[in-house]
């Protein structure tokens, strides 16, 4: 691209006649390695490193204005550097001027986009096309520009919540879990954690239809109690549209803690919904908003509704009814809760010796009895949930390595569920 530059901007890079004769040359300007081309009567200069994985573009092919990298066949429009292939990114081009038989370039042209905007756009492309390398480079590019982790996290949450009609799934859960871990990781590992979560979101959404929103109710004259009642009833009858309208109204009118309680209540109206995934996903959605801000609740939280309305309810499963009716034991204990809580109102609970071992018992009646006694003796929800999470972790550690993968899922799901309940109770 021949543009007028001031002398101070330009660096001599080649003899014009030599470049015409050779067709291409390699040169340097400042700290940049350049691939120079003479094609169709024009002098062109591009960064010699292919933006995909660094192959020298001077070894590529130029035909009909298209530069093709020979490593992965990425193609670039030679005059402006724009790629034909979204996975490759655009290649940097440099303004060229011929003076007195010499070729000059400006090695530091103004970028078409500021770096933050460029890498944000590339992250969006990586998510849309499920391009893991593009996601990785975007995370690193944003970090190099000192962009806080919450920016790519917010982009991934919004993308996953929008472009998967079935709603919240493992990808968004992994992304949220990675965000929770960032403070505990070494600085050099934090970008990797973000990349893992974002790439899993992209994989989850690939080929899936998007979600279409329902609006909130236009009235604001609805009590929190009535909204919760409507929401839980909508979930009960598996009405996704009605539940979404109730939830969006709650997000616009209630405090975040009350919105979270509404979701947790619906997630515990039935037993161990979707093998614990439902409560875990609701908890992760709420935790993600603690990172990016609850002002994003209207775009993130509705994605959990399909996990509530479509969930398998464990009391409907024969495994919870035979040979022991575990569901009935739990429902009976729930009916006793008001009296148990009253008895323990003025008590301070100290977990008895062997309590975790009791929770790991094969006898469900023994487990339920021990938990009722804990409540009656003053155990708080957080204390009891913490002991259950401890027991669930012990169960994973003690599980036989010869078990099949599906058997391992049983203990993994129990642990993730128990951990989510503990986090929600804190």
Tokens 């503990």 belong to residue: 422
pLDDT tens per residue across span 49-96: 999 999 999 999 999 999 999 999 999 999 999 999 999 999 999 999
d(C-alpha 129, C-alpha 207), whole Å: 9
CATH class (in words) of the domain with range 7-105: mainly beta
pLDDT tens per residue across span 315-332: 999 999 999 999 999 999
- The beta-strand segments (E) located in 40-95 are 42-47, 61-63, 66-68, 75-77
> Alpha helices of 182-223 — where are they, by DSSP H?
187-205
pLDDT tens per residue across span 238-296: 999 999 999 999 999 999 999 999 999 999 999 999 999 999 999 999 999 999 999 99
Backbone angles phi, psi at 45, to 5 degrees: -135, 130
pLDDT tens per residue across span 163-198: 999 999 999 999 999 999 999 999 889 999 999 999
Contact 59, 26 (CB under 8 A): no
pLDDT tens per residue across span 360-410: 999 999 999 999 999 999 999 999 999 999 999 999 999 988 888 888 989
Provide the mean pLDDT of the chain: 95
pTM (predicted TM-score): 0.90
d(C-alpha 415, C-alpha 426), whole Å: 17
d(C-alpha 98, C-alpha 101), whole Å: 6
Question: Mean pLDDT throughout 136-140?
Answer: 97
Fill in the DSSP letter of residue 49. Answer: B
Given pLDDT bands bounded at 50, 70 and 90, which one contains residue 4?
A: very low
């Amino acid at each position: 691209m021949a543009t007028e530059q001031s002398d101070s901007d330009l660096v001599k890079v080649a003899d014009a006649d030599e470049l015409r004769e050779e067709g291409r040359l390699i040169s340097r300007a400042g700290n940049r390695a350049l691939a120079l081309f003479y094609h169709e009567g024009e002098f062109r200069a591009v960064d010699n490193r292919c933006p995909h994985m660094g192959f020298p573009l001077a070894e590529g092919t130029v035909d009909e204005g298209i530069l093709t990298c020979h490593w992965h066949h990425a193609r670039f429009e030679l005059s402006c550097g724009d790629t034909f292939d979204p996975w490759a990114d655009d290649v940097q081009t440099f303004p060229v001027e011929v003076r007195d038989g010499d070729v000059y370039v400006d090695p530091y042209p103004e970028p078409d986009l500021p770096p933050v905007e460029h890498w944000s756009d590339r992250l969006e492309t990586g998510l849309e096309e499920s391009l893991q390398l593009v996601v990785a480079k975007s995370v690193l590019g944003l970090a190099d520009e000192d962009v806080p982790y919450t920016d790519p996290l917010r982009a991934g949450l919004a993308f996953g919540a929008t472009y998967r009609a079935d709603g919240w799934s493992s990808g968004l859960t992994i992304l949220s879990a990675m965000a929770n871990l960032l403070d505990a990781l070494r600085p050099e590992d934090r970008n990797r954690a973000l990349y893992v979560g974002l790439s899993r979101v992209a994989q989850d959404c690939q080929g899936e239809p998007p979600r279409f929103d329902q609006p909130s109710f236009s009235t604001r004259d609805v009590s929190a109690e009535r909204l919760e009642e409507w929401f839980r009833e909508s979930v009960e009858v598996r009405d996704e549209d009605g539940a979404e309208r109730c939830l969006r109204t709650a997000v616009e009118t209630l405090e975040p803690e009350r919105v979270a309680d509404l979701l947790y209540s619906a997630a515990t109206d039935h037993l161990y919904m979707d093998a614990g995934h439902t409560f875990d996903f609701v908890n992760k959605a709420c935790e993600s908003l603690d990172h990016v801000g609850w002002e994003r609740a209207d775009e993130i939280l509705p994605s959990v509704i399909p996990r509530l309305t479509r969930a398998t309810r464990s009391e409907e499963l024969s495994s919870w009814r035979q040979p022991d009716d575990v569901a009935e034991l739990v429902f009976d204990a729930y009916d006793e809760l008001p009296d148990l809580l009253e008895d323990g109102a003025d008590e301070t609970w100290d977990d008895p010796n062997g309590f975790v071992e009791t929770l790991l018992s094969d006898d469900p009646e023994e487990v339920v009895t021990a938990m009722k006694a804990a409540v009656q003796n003053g155990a708080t929800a957080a204390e009891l949930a913490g002991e259950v999470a401890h027991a669930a972790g012990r169960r994973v550690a003690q599980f036989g390595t010869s078990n099949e993968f599906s058997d391992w899922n049983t203990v993994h799901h129990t642990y993730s569920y128990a951990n989510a309940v503990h986090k929600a109770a804190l």
